[in-house]
Structure 1
């Protein structure tokens, strides 16, 4: 289960480090770049999303203080693990259109 949130590209700034990227083609056929730490391999953010131009999706686990982020919707619930509980927010089986 991955938890991430969208940020306007103009508001996104790396404070330190130089992530590596991997180009990926999603189920939709659209391309994107998954960026990760070259030292430990942790996924940090997703950029260059053809389906969401101008947004960067940041992995919540990459933040120093993630408690300030509140979920607004759940996507890809068709892949939800049986032991996880749905949140009382809008639900989408896949990528919302």
Structure 2
């Protein structure tokens, strides 16, 4: 009668007979993780912060303007628009 050795048993015996050597302990690293944001991410963050700090929308004024635009009675003087734009950049005409 022949005794058959299971291949899994042989693999187990091979691993069991290997000599295990302890690993060396690694000293903890004293440096800290750092994150650096791109200029686009920084700009987005500042725009987002400004949006959060912006005053709430005046719904009554928005509705009034919508009605004026819809009815064709909304008129803006181009000089006023230009002055407002220039004032944003401290440009005097």
Q: TM-score, normalised by structure 2?
A: 0.22
Query: Between Structure 1 and Structure 2, which shows a larger proportion of helix residues?
Result: 2
The structure whose Rg is larger is 2
Q: TM-score, normalised by structure 1?
A: 0.21
